[in-house]
Structure 1
Amino acid sequence: MSTGTPALPLRFGYGTNGLTDLRLDDALALLADLGYDGVGLTLDHMHLDPLAEDLAARTRRVAHRLDALGLDVTVETGARYVLDPRRKHGPSLLDPDPDDRARRADLLVRAVRVAADLGAHAVHCFSGITPPGTDEETAWTRLAEALGPVLEAAEDTGVPLAVEPEPGHLLATLAGFHHLRRLLGDPAPLGLTLDIGHCQCLEPLSPADCVREAAPWLRHVQIEDMRRGVHEHLPFGDGEIDFPPVLHALADTGYQGLTVVELPRHSHAGPHFAEVSLPFLRGAAAAAPLTSRSGEPSATH
């Protein structure tokens, strides 16, 4: 069911957090059949459980499956209840209890090791919401300290950690990412996950300009439609984003990772949205001429 080759040197994936009603083997086979280049693999109880006692063996099986299907992978860590069945995304890196912060950091270290075993190009994570009664300076200090062992693991394995600005979180914007980067002394393993919808939602720059601004630190990209001021992941065409300029800006940066469709609340129709999203992205990628880094039109790429 391949829909042809994209006009730009971009590689598209689909997130398993939008395919949670499928077994992982079936989800991977679906994406390969549809012509995706890779997968954003969210570690969760139904898809490569990061807390499983036999995690290493499960990871080896998934690695073989990805290789057989010709799929690249990035590892994502946004599972809602993988650590706490009662608290969405809890515990976080900002929790008052240091043991709770350590549990989240341990999950991220596990994710880095899984990513290394899978040959993934990055591990995604986010800060979490500032707990009630916690001042901002304390929250940033907790975040920087909690990420220490994760960044060590990232450096040891050569798999970059890609922090995502998330609306409503302590680290919500590109400016927040740069603040964290400076707090940590700009460590080499620290990179950025850029969610294109989040740029539309709350960044002062356009999504295409966000891509250009983020280029030096860009390690992972998530993509979906969204409206200004409303944090709701939407199928392509249901929001306000003009995608051709975004994709051309992304290609022009030389980004080499996956651009992963992020529709976590559409799993009830995941196969349908996986099928229609790839032709949309390829069409958007072919809709306008690529510009060079100097801003001049480029005839070839």
Structure 2
Amino acid sequence: MKLGVYNAVLHDRPLEDALAVIADLGLTGIEINSGGFLPPTHIPEIDEIVASPAAAKKYLARFDGTGVEIAGLNCNGNPLHPNRSIGDKHADDIRRSIRAAAALGQDRVVTMSGLPGGEPGVRHPNWIVNAWNSAALDVLDYQWEVAAAFWSEMDQFAKDHGVKVALELHPQNLVFNARDVRKLIELTGATHLGVEMDASHLFWQQADPIAVVRELGPLILHAAAKDVRINPEHARLNGVLDNGFRRLAPDEDRVNLGGDEWANEWPKDSSWDFVALGKGHDTAYWTEFIRALHEVDPDMCLNIEHEDTELGRIEGLEVAATVLTDAWAAFAGK
């Protein structure tokens, strides 16, 4: 198994410095953001790489002697966004990422399934959380039609380039659990779509990532190491679907998600938080997580994604890397 880091947390420094950080952690892979919600900070020459084998070779040379190699491209976004200025760009970024992956000798691109609006002609996505009424199922029927058409085309595009697309099971997307994965594959007949197993989003839904890995088997194509901590004192009052976010003002530091959409501030009294490995689930859990992934593919890439706001960038990576490497050692020792 290949253990590495998703590079978004290291976008504050040049690629060479990011590679040094990862190597110092004792890890060997870097999953590189290539568009979507975030810019391709560590691969700004992505268009040149797609167009020119020489540019691809030059980019790969930057990894020589570092002890770190590319472990997939990441293009998380919403390619089904009904505001086409966002949706079309994110879809184009996925296609570009697939071409770039092929040019770089990679066979995995991570993204999200996306989320359409609730009906034709609207400008905002509509996430149906609990379809208890017939109107909600009408919305879902429409959204699945949109998704099936898009992902059928994208599956063929990925197949043509020898790349597989791994969808993160992220809520606020149409596909966010095991049942949805099966449905998308059935609707599309896809052979080059599967799952990026990010355990964190399953944890807060009260799903078991290990059970999902074993249920989906070869559909698990890639994995992320990110933990979640439930905060009982707040969850018992507001549940895990708490919407206590704050809109950030234009003069505050905020992340653009496309068009005029921006990330909001996380609730201060959150029902749950993304945390470094070990702060939600112990090393023994991550050992079994690795075991399940290894059963699917011994060469699986498992990359740390750091979003723990209680820890600095490097501090958080150090905490996570210690737990991950300890879990790997426990697994390898059987």
Q: Does the TM-score normalized on the shorter chain lie above 0.5?
A: yes
* Match of residue 234 from structure 1: 275
Give a deviation string over 1:162-213, Cα, whole Å, max 9, x none. 111102222111211111111101x221121111112212154x22212211
Q: Which residue of 2 aligns with 1:122?
A: 108
Matched with 2:324 is: 281
Give deviations 1:220-267, integer Å, cap 9, x for gaps: 101111135466321112214632221222223334221011114659
Counterpart of 1:256 in structure 2 is 299
Structure 2 CA distance for aligned equivalents of residues 266 and 74 of structure 1: 25
1:93·1:128 contact (CA, 8 Å) conserved in 2? Answer: yes
- Structure 1 CA distance, aligned partners of 2:320 and 2:298? 20
Residues in 2 aligned to 1:272 and 1:100: alpha-carbon distance in whole angstroms: 34
TM-score, with length taken from structure 1 = 0.78
Preserved contact between residue 14 and residue 42 of structure 2 (Cα < 8 Å): yes
Preserved CA contact (<8 Å) 1:208 1:249: yes
Q: Name the structure 2 match of 1:163.
A: 167
- Relative to structure 1, the CA distance from residue 136 to residue 208 in structure 2 (aligned partners, 3 Å threshold; closer, same or farther) is same
Structure with the larger RCO, 1 or 2 (CA within 8 Å, 6+ apart): 1
- Call closer, same or farther: CA 1:99–1:280 in 2, change over 3 Å: closer
Q: TM-score, normalised by structure 2?
A: 0.71
Aligned to 1:85: none
Which residue identity lines up with residue 64 of structure 1 in the other structure?
Answer: A
Unaligned runs of 5+ in 2: 120-125, 127-138, 231-239, 241-270
Verify the 8 A CA contact 1:105 1:146 in the aligned structure 2.
no
Offset, 1:138:
1.6
Indicate yes or no: 2:288 matched with 1:245.
Answer: yes
- Counterpart of 1:95? 81
Cα RMSD of the aligned pairs, angstroms, is 2.8
2:99 pairs, out of 101, 104, 113, with 113
Q: How many aligned residue pairs are there? A: 268
Q: Do the aligned partners of 1:221 and 1:258 also contact (CA within 8 Å) in 2?
A: yes
CA distance in 2 between counterparts of 1:112 and 1:198 reads 24
Larger radius of gyration: 2
Partner of 2:60: 63
Deviation per residue, 1:59-101 (Å, 9 max, x gap) = 54332223443414210012xxxxxxxxxx4xx3223356754
Residue 49 of structure 1 pairs with residue 53 of structure 2: no
Q: 2:315 aligns with which of 269, 272, 290?
A: 272
Q: 2:219 aligns with which of 198, 217, 224?
A: 217
Is the Cα contact below 8 Å between 1:122 and 1:162 reproduced in 2? yes
Question: CA 1:177 to 1:278, structure 2 compared with 1: closer, same or farther past 3 Å?
Answer: same
Who is 2:249 aligned against?
none
Q: Distance in 1 between matches of 2:115 and 2:72?
A: 24
* Greater shift in the superposed pair: 255-264 or 154-163: 255-264
Distance 1:26 1:266, change over 3 A: farther
Q: Report the equivalent of 2:122.
A: none
1:219–1:168 CA distance, 2 compared to 1 (3 A): same
Counterpart of 1:171 in 2: which secondary structure? coil
Relative to structure 1, the CA distance from residue 31 to residue 288 in structure 2 (aligned partners, 3 Å threshold; closer, same or farther) is: closer
